[in-house]
Homo-oligomer: A and B are copies of this chain.
């Protein structure tokens, strides 16, 4: 795929194959056609899953897919230095793959209208292929997912993007997916669940509430389309040195423990939760999806206890737009610290927070530091694991209330620099990648 075809794709919003309006009505139609029923059930009725002995971990009978285990966390940073919590454990790397084609010099990307049980609205635009290793190794005995072999056998000259990127560090233990964009030479048959879209269209759709799913957003965040180089007020080496310093200063020790041994959390008959109902809970659901055929299964889902917010500050410094990232320690992080949005408030309430004061949250909420809102939209977390979790995603230009000089756990970066760090994996967390996909 040429840089020119990507650039033209970004500029193209009038797609001759599917206009953006057509895509929206197609999604609406898919939403109507399917009947998705999610019913909470007690764990004892969650066929295919059981609590393992002696750990008390919630596991699939095959031992595959994911499990809910306990984590004992120690860190020397933040307001709480020691805690235990349940966490999703899925020690395998899945595929998040998007196919693309050059049609008349413009790049088109193949997205899928996919139903996921946890979605607020059922259908969202997902990558061409979205499959965990257990899926594609057919742990539940089904057919391999469509287009899998194209991604598994992709040759070097067809690979536009192939990155290992992290998932939510507060919910997943060191989970990563392989984010891919693969170029096709000719045409292929696409089913009625698929549509070819331009980057410009996807950028339009990602600025609407809950249309483009998290997996699509993370893949697209890595695509480099003329980002204006990697110069900024901090050099790439400056930022790398800052991260080395923090990763050496901040200790993060996590030990997997049995779910049974997690203090302050109770495994009840139909939820794994804290008595004070803070943070999140794990529930069991029965999922029935009916359209042409009926499929039904049971699984655990994570339900957040509040709505969260992620805000990325932008500011023109020395003539170039910079974004303010926060070096954040999260217990499931692959490498202690990842770069997160300026404000990331997902595990506690952001309106009337108790006991902690995220930097810049007050100034953002009262608007005193905001010059201009670039995007302000609700986005869903991955609907295969999270139950109706949507978070407010904001990018805004800020004034001099946010200084150019920042403390050691914040850093100003240009878009080109963020993409450079995306190339080398595990530097930018999933929340900031979601925001980058909207830029």
Most B Cβ at <10 Å: residue of A92, A242, A244? A244
How many angstroms from the CA of A240 to the CA of B163 in the assembled complex?
Answer: 8
B238 near A156: Cβ-Cβ < 8 Å? yes
Task: Count residues of chain A with CB under 8 A from any CB of chain B.
Answer: 30
Determine which of B92, B93, B245, B253 lies in contact with A91 in the assembled complex, contact meaning CB atoms within 8 Å. Answer: B253
The answer to whether A248 has its CB under 8 Å from any CB of chain B is: yes
| Chain B proximity mask over A220-256: 1 for CB below 8 Å, otherwise 0 | 0000000000000000111011101101100101011
How many angstroms from the CA of A236 to the CA of B91 in the assembled complex?
Answer: 27
The answer to whether A164 has its CB under 8 Å from any CB of chain B is: yes
* This chain: copies in complex: 2
A244 near B425: Cβ-Cβ < 8 Å? yes
Chain B proximity of A215: nearest CB distance (Å): 15
How many angstroms from the CA of A93 to the CA of B178 in the assembled complex?
Answer: 28
Chain B proximity of A7: nearest CB distance (Å): 18
B162 near A244: Cβ-Cβ < 8 Å? yes
The answer to whether A334 has its CB under 8 Å from any CB of chain B is: yes
The answer to whether A424 has its CB under 8 Å from any CB of chain B is: yes
Given contacts A423-B240, A424-B424, is CB(A247)–CB(B93) below 8 Å? yes
Instruction: Give every chain B residue within 8 A of A162 (Cβ-Cβ).
Output: 240-241, 244-245
| Chain B proximity mask over A134-162: 1 for CB below 8 Å, otherwise 0 | 00000000000000000000001001001
B-contacting residues, A158-177, CB 8 Å: 159, 162-164
How many angstroms from the CA of A164 to the CA of B240 in the assembled complex?
Answer: 10
- 9 additional A-B pairs beyond A162-B241, A237-B423, A240-B423, beta carbons within 8 Å, are A93-B247, A95-B248, A156-B242, A159-B241, A162-B244, A164-B248, A178-B244, A178-B248, A424-B424
Closest partner residue, chain B, to A159 (CB atom): B241
The answer to whether A335 has its CB under 8 Å from any CB of chain B is: yes
Q: What 5 A-B pairs have minimum CB-CB distances, sorted nearest first?
A: A162-B241, A93-B248, A424-B424, A162-B244, A178-B248
B-contacting residues, A355-373, CB 8 Å: none
22 CB-based A-B contacts, threshold 8 Å: A91-B251, A91-B253, A92-B251, A93-B248, A156-B238, A156-B241, A162-B244, A162-B245, A163-B240, A163-B244, A164-B247, A178-B244, A178-B245, A178-B248, A236-B423, A237-B423, A240-B423, A240-B424, A244-B425, A255-B256, A334-B335, A424-B424
